[in-house]
């Protein structure tokens, strides 16, 4: 009966094969698994209504979660202004914030956003998997999330996590 | 019954901003599920803590979500799968089977390997004697 040695070798090979397969599968630590963007409706800071359909106007857009209580948002604000000048369309999500404070902030520091979703209850944020602010999503064709960055968005982060996806 | 649930749900929304929220349940088993589920979900913002032990705003949001989904009659697995969809695989402490088949089957494969190896080893030893 030579079946057991054969089986053992086969099992051992498949085991290591699987291990390596998993290893290469997870090699891209910085990577993000693309997710589809669930359609949603919300209101804007200026009182108008907003649907995620509007994101389809751009092949690429940024969704930036911010709030006036968020220190990191103040830090990344100047970089968002730079991105806006480069022609990148940024849609803000004003997260669990106060409307008046938000307007004051935009007056004072500049407004890099095309539109600003007013998410005072954090519902849109929750749906997107936001756990705080700042967070930034890269949306492709208005229906898929190709990057979700938690934390301050700066030049380094842009170069490493966002720019490679935009070139594709 | 449905109207009652709706009222419960709405009352929760009205008081949603309270820092210390009370959750009321129709039966004890739902209440137990609510608290045991909280221990299975990690707080995405605060490392090393479940949402049960966290006062972060996002932890409160997730608790609310679990609460409403229990009232809507969803199963534990449905609730956790939904949270994994939103916050990623790491949000639950127990890895899901679908996305980690290898992880779950590894002990079984390893066990079989040892059994087969042991059989070969023992047979060889028998011949020597």
Q: Check CB contact of A12 with chain B, cutoff 8 Å.
A: yes
Domain ranges of chain A: 1-30, 34-167
Based on the fold, state whether residues B52 and B64 are members of the same structural domain.
yes
The 8-class DSSP code of residue B63 comes to H
- From A13, which residue of chain B is nearest by alpha-carbon distance? B113
Number of structural domains found in chain B: 2
A90 three-class SS: strand
Q: Is B112 within 8 Å of A11 when comparing Cβ atoms?
A: yes
Residues of A in contact with B102 (CB under 8 A): 18, 22
- Report whether pLDDT(B11) > 60: no
ipTM above 0.90, yes or no: no
B63: domain CATH number is: 1.10.8.640
Token pair of A159, please? Answer: 């170069």
From CA A78, how far away is CA A134, in angstroms rounded?
13
Task: Looking at the complex, report in whole angstroms how far the Cα of residue B83 sits from the nearest Cα belonging to chain A.
Answer: 9
If asked whether residues B105 and B89 sit together in one domain, one would say no
The C-alpha atoms of residue A124 and residue A146 are separated, in whole angstroms, by 17
| Angstroms from A104 CA to nearest CA on chain B | 24
A62-115 pLDDT tens trace: 999 999 999 999 999 999 999 999 999 999 999 999 999 999 999 999 999 999
Residues B65 and B89 in one domain: yes
By mean pLDDT, which of A54-58, A156-160, B12-16, B95-99 is the weakest? B12-16
Asked if A131 is an interface residue toward chain B (Cβ–Cβ < 8 A), one would say yes
d(CA A55, CA A14) in angstroms, rounded, equals 45
Q: Chain B residues contacting A, CB < 8 Å?
A: 16, 44-45, 56-58, 61, 65, 86-88, 102, 109-110, 112-113, 116-117, 119-120, 123
Judge if B8 and B70 occupy the same domain.
yes
Superfamily of domain A34-167: Glutaredoxin (3.40.30.10)
Q: Are residues B22 and B63 part of one domain?
A: yes
| A134 touches A25 (CB < 8 A) | no
Q: Are B105 and B81 within one domain?
A: no
Same domain, B89 and B118: no
Domain range enclosing B74: 2-96
Q: Give this prediction's pTM.
A: 0.78
Assess contact for A122 and A94: CB atoms under 8 A.
no
Do B107 and B90 fall within a single domain?
Answer: no
């Amino acid at each position: 009966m030579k079946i057991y040695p054969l089986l053992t070798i086969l099992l051992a090979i498949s085991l290591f094969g699987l291990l390596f397969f998993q290893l290469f599968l997870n090699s891209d630590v910085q990577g993000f698994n693309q997710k589809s963007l669930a359609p949603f409706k919300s209101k804007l800071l200026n009182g108008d209504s907003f649907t995620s359909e509007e994101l389809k106007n751009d092949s690429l857009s940024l969704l930036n979660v911010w709030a006036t209580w968020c220190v990191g948002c103040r830090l990344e604000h100047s970089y968002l202004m730079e991105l806006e000048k480069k022609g990148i369309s940024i849609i803000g999500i004003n997260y669990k914030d106060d409307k008046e404070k938000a307007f004051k902030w935009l007056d004072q520091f500049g407004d890099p956003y095309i539109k600003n979703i007013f998410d005072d209850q954090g519902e849109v944020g929750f749906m997107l998997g936001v756990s705080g602010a700042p967070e930034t999503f890269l949306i492709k064709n208005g229906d898929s999330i190709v990057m979700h960055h938690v934390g301050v968005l700066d030049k380094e982060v842009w170069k490493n996590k966002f720019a490679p996806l935009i070139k594709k | 019954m449905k109207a009652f649930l709706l009222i419960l749900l709405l009352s929760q929304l009205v008081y949603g901003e309270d820092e210390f929220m009370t959750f009321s349940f129709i039966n004890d088993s739902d209440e137990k599920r609510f608290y045991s589920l909280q221990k299975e979900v990690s707080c995405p913002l605060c490392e090393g803590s479940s949402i049960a032990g966290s006062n972060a705003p996002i932890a409160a949001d997730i608790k609310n979500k679990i609460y409403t989904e229990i009232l809507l009659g969803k199963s534990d697995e449905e609730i956790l799968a939904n949270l994994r969809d939103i916050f990623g695989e790491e949000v639950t402490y127990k890895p899901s089977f679908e996305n980690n088949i290898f992880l779950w089957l590894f002990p079984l494969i390893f066990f079989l390997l040892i059994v087969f190896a042991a059989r070969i080893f023992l047979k060889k030893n028998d011949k020597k004697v």
